[in-house]
Structure formats: C-alpha cells, structure tokens
C-alpha cells in the first residue's frame, strides 16, 4: 500500500501547489482535466500547501479488479483504496508586490476518501499506476435503484457532466 499512499499524498500536494507536470504524470485523463481546471481558475496570488497530519487507520484495499482486452497482453487493472486521514490545507494570499502575506488560513479536517488507481498493460508492457479518481461507497439501496433504473441514472450523470462543463 505504500506506493498508493505516496500517489495519494503526491496528488493533493501537487494540486495544492499547482504543479501541473506532476498531475499530468500521475493522473488518468479524466481526473487530470478536472484538476487542471481547478488550478487554472485559481487566483495567481494564492499559495496553498496540503499535508496529511496523520492516518486514522492504515490505507485499506477495498477492491482489486482486472479485465483483459481482446488484444493479447493488453488489459486494465484497478484498485480502490480507502484513506482515512486527518489532513490540513493552508491558504495564503500574497500582496501585489509579493513582499507580505495576508494571514494564512488553515483548514484541518478528518476525511475518509476512496480512490481508484489504474494500471494499463499494452502488448505485455505494464505502465505505471495512475490516479483514476475518487469513488464513493454504494449501499444496497443505491445499487438496486441503479440496477432497476439504468437509463434514469445515466441521464442524471450526463446532466451533471454537462453542468460541470459549463462551469
């Protein structure tokens, strides 16, 4: 789990600091686009730092699935990991001349987050694990609703996606 823990922390540190290169290198396309949009919408004089203060529990493997593709030696493997942390985000705004900073604002909170990581194999060549994105728990009620109303769930997701693109 150490590798996934490192990717998880690197993801949020890079998002906070606005490091586009790292985000590009460790994220799958979908989440990369979302994070780049967040970074690009930030004020240039905003400086952020993110850190895990502690792990409430060790990262836990929730799911490990693999699917082969029709081509030999090609497939996808995905793991979902639960991270239960106490983390903080500190925000500072620089003055116009960068000489002084306004008082830093620090937000500290306990979070349970499920992240999916993906490894793609092409023609027998394994690529590095990448962050696919955050996923959420599904209870039995949600599962059966989605199973019995697939078109409605699809339309709701498509509407949310359209709204996100317009923002």
Q: Considering its fold, how many domains does the chain have in total?
A: 2
Name the region of 133 (left: φ>0; alpha: ψ -120 to 50; beta: rest).
Answer: left
d(CA 84, CA 150): 31
Contact 130, 26 (CB under 8 A): yes
pTM for the model: 0.79
> By residue range, what is the domain housing residue 163?
137-167
142 and 130 in a common domain: no
The reply to whether 66 and 114 lie within a common domain is: yes
In tens digits, what is the pLDDT along the chain, a chain of 167 residues?
669 999 999 999 999 999 999 999 999 999 999 999 999 999 888 889 999 999 999 999 999 999 998 888 899 999 999 999 999 999 988 876 655 566 678 899 999 999 999 999 998 899 999 999 999 887 777 777 777 877 786 677 666 655 544 44
């Amino acid at each position: 789990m150490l590798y996934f823990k490192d990717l998880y922390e690197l993801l949020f540190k890079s998002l906070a600091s606005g490091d586009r290169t790292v985000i590009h290198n460790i994220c799958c396309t979908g989440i990369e686009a979302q994070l780049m949009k967040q970074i690009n919408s930030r004020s240039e004089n905003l400086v952020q730092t993110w850190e895990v203060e502690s792990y409430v529990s060790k990262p836990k493997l929730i799911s490990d699935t693999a699917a082969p593709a029709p081509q030999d030696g090609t497939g996808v493997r995905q793991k979902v990991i639960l991270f239960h942390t106490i983390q903080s985000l500190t925000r500072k705004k620089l003055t116009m001349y960068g000489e002084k900073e306004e008082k830093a604002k620090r937000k500290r909170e306990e979070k349970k987050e499920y992240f999916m990581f993906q490894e793609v194999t092409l023609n027998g060549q394994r690529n590095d694990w990448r962050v696919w994105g955050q996923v959420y728990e599904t209870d039995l009620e949600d599962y059966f609703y989605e199973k019995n109303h697939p078109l409605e769930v699809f339309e709701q997701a498509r509407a949310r996606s359209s709204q996100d693109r317009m923002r």
